[in-house]
Amino acid sequence: MTTEVKHITEYPVYAKVLIGLLVLTTFTILVPWLDLTAFTALIALVLASTKAGIVMTYFMHLKVEYILLKILVIMVLAIYVSVIILTFSDYIFR
């Protein structure tokens, strides 16, 4: 028989995650007001990716999953980053 270990996350951890997500959302809202030209979209994408990573880690419990699932998520993130790099390289050279 296999024994499963329950991973219980404490409420203060969820409170810290909530505060972090709210702070990042505030930055996401404030960034377009700054005149950073092409970097505005880049910063917004980085902030959105960071928020998605936090959600995947804590709310989707990726932090305690098996290594295979973590590898699959890393592969998807690598594809995401490559598409963003290709998009911005096309945008810069136009």
87 part of a folded domain: yes
41 part of a folded domain: yes
3 part of a folded domain: no
How many structural domains is the chain composed of? Answer: 1
- pLDDT score, position 25: 96
CA dist 45 → 35, 67, 84 (Å):
16, 26, 9
Q: What tens-digit pLDDT sequence spans the chain (94 residues)? A: 566 666 677 889 999 999 999 999 999 999 989 888 878 888 988 999 999 999 988 888 888 888 898 899 899 999 999 998 898 888 778 7
- pLDDT score, position 84: 87
pTM summary value: 0.77
Which two three-digit tokens encode residue 25?
């959302």
Backbone angles phi, psi at 84, to 5 degrees: -65, -40
Question: Which range marks the domain in which residue 39 is found?
Answer: 11-92
51 part of a folded domain: yes
18 part of a folded domain: yes
